[in-house]
Structure 1
């Protein structure tokens, strides 16, 4: 059983358990004021393993499965046993780092809550795109475009929506999780940058 599958099963189990136990959901959700006021920094991580509803959970877990499996195989194949450590670090640090801007923006807003694995999933997705920018990425299994095009649209949309400050979706987590994934992979594998540029330069629309 892959590590990705283990993470998915743990996320499903904890999300379901939290839905049955609102007190646990309240204790684990990312609330910047409670983090700041009561030093509950564990929320940076626990909030990444619970989700708002079934739809939210399914979307994140499907994305985690496709891109997590690919990154786990690549990192394991390239770095051997250390690949598992790098994979966990990429995913878990992606969850934590992606919530730092949210913490700074909402640290005085006691009504703000955020949850879900989106930051970690975005980190895996964009690490994958950096390595294979021409690989097709599909939205809802229907619209498929090269990864670098999808990534550009994704980041532009996330940036725009984060500035609108509306709705329940934490677009900052998407944006900064994606940026973290790029930086992490570029640091871990510096040759990924020139390889990315080379692949993009070879791409043709027709």
Structure 2
């Protein structure tokens, strides 16, 4: 779980500093003109190191802590020591690219937060252990039910808009997590289908 802890530590430090330093925040968030005009491609990843507030940071890092530890072992076993960080950075890139393409000429658009990559980790975890009981706002439920509710809510809010949250990135991150993990470990798909057909304790 070393990589998970390192990602959390770096993200927390950068987010804490950026919340006190507006210039650093502006230099790291996803701002389309900085990419299209100035070729600051690092923003396609650095936006995941900064968060809107401490609550935003806490929720993302807590989720990453609980599920990243399990998934890190899988990616490390298959891809080597950099497996999990490669997967995580891929989640940041894939989850934000559709939004960037849609807003690449919109100078008023910004995006920040690791939610897309965290969604990738969470949904990859659901493939491995769909019936694991998790707590969502102190309400216990199986991970697969949370995943379904998460998708429905994200689609609804993405169409509704108005809350300044990039729900589309959550969905793209979730899709990436599932597709990447199945491509890496094809045996997880029949494992997931078998697990779904045999609920344990629910």
Q: Normalising to structure 1: TM-score of the pair? A: 0.92
Tell me the residue number matched to 1:24: 24
Tell me the residue number matched to 1:159: 155
Moved more, 168-177 or 28-37: 28-37
Q: Offset at 1:200?
A: 0.4
Does residue 1:96 correspond to 2:93, yes or no?
yes
Q: Offset at 1:131?
A: 1.1
SS in 2 for 1:144: strand
Do 1:123 and 1:177's aligned partners in 2 also have CA atoms closer than 8 Å?
Answer: yes
Tell me the residue number matched to 1:131: 128
Do 2:131 and 2:200's aligned partners in 1 also have CA atoms closer than 8 Å?
Answer: no
Q: Offset at 1:73?
A: 2.9
Does residue 1:193 correspond to 2:186, yes or no?
no
- RMSD, aligned α-carbons: 1.6
SS in 2 for 1:168: coil
Q: 2 CA distance for matches of 1:136 and 1:74? A: 20
Gaps of 5+ in 1: none
CA deviations 1:117-141 (Å, max 9, x no partner) are: 111111110110011111123212x
Q: Offset at 1:205?
A: 7.3
Q: 2 CA distance for matches of 1:19 and 1:47? A: 13
CA deviations 1:14-56 (Å, max 9, x no partner) are: 1111122211110110112322222221101000011111111
Q: 1 CA distance for matches of 2:171 and 2:98? A: 10
Tell me the residue number matched to 1:120: 117
Gaps of 5+ in 2: none
Tell me the residue number matched to 2:169: 173
Q: 2 CA distance for matches of 1:156 and 1:84? A: 35
Q: 2 CA distance for matches of 1:85 and 1:67? A: 17
